[in-house]
A and B are shown apart, each in its own frame.
Chain A
């Protein structure tokens, strides 16, 4: 056998082996494989660049359940993908489609390769016109174009790296070891990242509460609301944490949205958990004062002041608030 024939036989054997392995790997995927593969190709709509198969969010789980159900019903991959893209658009796909405007993304590497091969072939056949000849661009033009490309490339890299680092800062779980006593030194953004990465942690409610209080003090009620809500709803929150969160919710519901009945209802819930709580009753008196219900406010504050066990620091605050109510002053 000639050397050429032997080489052909080797190549044929390698191709056959590769084809066998490919068939073994890809062949007969189970329903679970299909669900996992489809879940890995769909972006979680409520997360940042994460597949629904990898996301712990409730929405992602619901979407995985839907895919599982469709697979069990005998739907093809294309039908399932079409169903989801009909609702969310092509952006829901982690891999852009090989059609339309995103076709260029798939063709770009091959195009670049071909262009590179073409350029090398052309340079080999045409070993450059001598400098200064009429057909060659002047060295100044070359330098200008080269500088432009370099600056553009650096700018692109800089923007990409900045964006990448910002995303990592938002989602990193490497901050999980930030201690609660460090809170004063931690930015709101970092606290958000820590909370996002430790949602299942039994002591996360304390951190949520601190962040919500901080947002409330800054007047950012929209940001405070979901954290207070999560503390109230969490089964792992301690009773004082729930009481504090209900009080915070009551204040922003009243001050932000003018919902007096809802605010008072939330305070009632807090008092059910911690009957007689001084801060909650004080807040009730204050909200009633601000709502112009001076008589009710007076009653609440007078009852509070009559408590023999009222701590002295609260006594001053209650006395001052009561004086303002009695003088029919607007709440501060």
Chain B
């Protein structure tokens, strides 16, 4: 009995050490890479003006389509790198019930708009402004680019963290069309505003 209790003591001490090591090694991990709690949940609604001051555009109005919500800014290199693929994907899937929505993040609408004038737009994509980052906060954005996929019932079923390429976007949309929940994919880095 005595021996048993003593070994329980040793076990507790070892557990404490293991716990400390676990805590210590968790320092410095990127919290932005954790699985989004939104996946499988109803997508947060939004009603936002377009970049040129038109609108507002509401997520509720897009119900019944697959909606791809991308957060971007002109100061983000990954956003520039993925832009051509987003435009091509929107042109490709737009006519068949997939609506791309690009929401600017931490940037004045005129700056986002000026860059899009240079980089090009898809006629099927809605380009929206997010005053006060309310929609970015509702979607739990840690850095950009982040791209969310919402199924026709309004549930968040997928997310791409980092540069979204046409192949990944297409594969995610195909999976949603087959009734699957693609979940979260990390393709690369995200960025913060340089002065944040």
| A interface residues with partner B (beta carbon < 8 Å) | 43, 45-46, 57-59, 62-63, 65-66, 84-89, 91-92, 108, 112, 115, 119, 122, 126, 129, 135-137, 145, 148-149, 152-153, 155-157, 159-160, 163-164, 166-167, 199, 221-222, 225-227, 229-230, 233-234, 253, 256-257, 259, 261-262, 265
1/0 per residue, CB under 8 A from A, across B139-172: the answer is 1111100000000000000000000000000000
| Chain A residue at minimum C-beta to C-beta distance from B190 | A46
On chain A, the residues within 8 Å of B24 by CB distance are: 156, 159-160, 163
Selected A-B contacts with CB under 8 Å, 16 pairs: A46-B192, A46-B193, A58-B106, A58-B195, A58-B196, A87-B137, A91-B31, A91-B34, A135-B3, A137-B6, A156-B24, A167-B27, A227-B194, A233-B75, A233-B195, A256-B81
Give Cα distance in the complex from A223 to B192, angstroms: 12
Give Cα distance in the complex from A87 to B37, angstroms: 6
Closest Cβ–Cβ distance, residue B134 to chain A (whole Å):
7
Give the interface segment out of B10-18, B58-66, B173-181. B10-18
Closest Cβ–Cβ distance, residue A191 to chain B (whole Å):
13
Q: Which 5 A-B pairs have the closest CB atoms?
A: A87-B140, A163-B27, A230-B194, A152-B17, A57-B196
Whether A89 contacts B189 by the Cβ 8 Å rule is no
On chain A, the residues within 8 Å of B142 by CB distance are: 45-46, 88
Whether B17 contacts A149 by the Cβ 8 Å rule is yes
> Which of B16, B37, B75, B137 contacts A89, CB < 8 Å?
B37
Interface centre among A43, A137, A152, A262 (most CB of B within 10 A): A152
Whether A226 contacts B75 by the Cβ 8 Å rule is yes
B138 located at the interface, meaning its Cβ lies under 8 Å from any Cβ of chain A in the complex: yes
Whether B196 contacts A66 by the Cβ 8 Å rule is no
Using known A-B contacts A160-B24, A225-B77, determine if residue A63 contacts B137 with beta carbons closer than 8 Å.
yes
Chain B binding site: helix, strand, loop or mixed by DSSP? helix
Give Cα distance in the complex from A198 to B194, angstroms: 12
B contact residues, total (Cβ < 8 Å): 57
Extra contacts, 7 of them, besides A57-B193, A226-B76 (Cβ < 8 A), are A58-B193, A59-B196, A86-B38, A89-B36, A137-B6, A156-B17, A163-B27
Whether B27 contacts A62 by the Cβ 8 Å rule is no
B123 located at the interface, meaning its Cβ lies under 8 Å from any Cβ of chain A in the complex: no
B185 located at the interface, meaning its Cβ lies under 8 Å from any Cβ of chain A in the complex: no
Closest Cβ–Cβ distance, residue B163 to chain A (whole Å):
10
Give Cα distance in the complex from A18 to B137, angstroms: 40
Closest Cβ–Cβ distance, residue A171 to chain B (whole Å):
11
Interface centre among A58, A199, A265 (most CB of B within 10 A): A58
Closest Cβ–Cβ distance, residue A324 to chain B (whole Å):
28
| Chain A residue at minimum C-beta to C-beta distance from B22 | A156
Whether A45 contacts B37 by the Cβ 8 Å rule is no
Give Cα distance in the complex from A71 to B28, angstroms: 32
Give Cα distance in the complex from A83 to B174, angstroms: 31
On chain B, the residues within 8 Å of A233 by CB distance are: 75, 194-195
Give Cα distance in the complex from A25 to B167, angstroms: 58
Give Cα distance in the complex from A166 to B139, angstroms: 30
B54 located at the interface, meaning its Cβ lies under 8 Å from any Cβ of chain A in the complex: no
Interface centre among A65, A88, A233, A257 (most CB of B within 10 A): A88
Give Cα distance in the complex from A129 to B1, angstroms: 12
Closest Cβ–Cβ distance, residue A245 to chain B (whole Å):
11
Whether A149 contacts B14 by the Cβ 8 Å rule is yes
Closest Cβ–Cβ distance, residue A302 to chain B (whole Å):
28
B80 located at the interface, meaning its Cβ lies under 8 Å from any Cβ of chain A in the complex: yes
On chain B, the residues within 8 Å of A256 by CB distance are: 77, 81
Give Cα distance in the complex from A164 to B26, angstroms: 11
On chain A, the residues within 8 Å of B19 by CB distance are: 108
Interface centre among A137, A166, A221, A222 (most CB of B within 10 A): A222
Give Cα distance in the complex from A259 to B80, angstroms: 10
Whether A119 contacts B140 by the Cβ 8 Å rule is no
| Chain B residue at minimum C-beta to C-beta distance from A129 | B2
Whether B80 contacts A155 by the Cβ 8 Å rule is no
| Chain B residue at minimum C-beta to C-beta distance from A158 | B24
Whether A122 contacts B5 by the Cβ 8 Å rule is yes
Q: Give residues 29-83 of B contacting A (CB, 8 Å).
A: 31-32, 34-38, 41, 44, 75-78, 80-81
Using known A-B contacts A87-B44, A88-B37, A145-B10, determine if residue A166 contacts B194 with beta carbons closer than 8 Å.
no
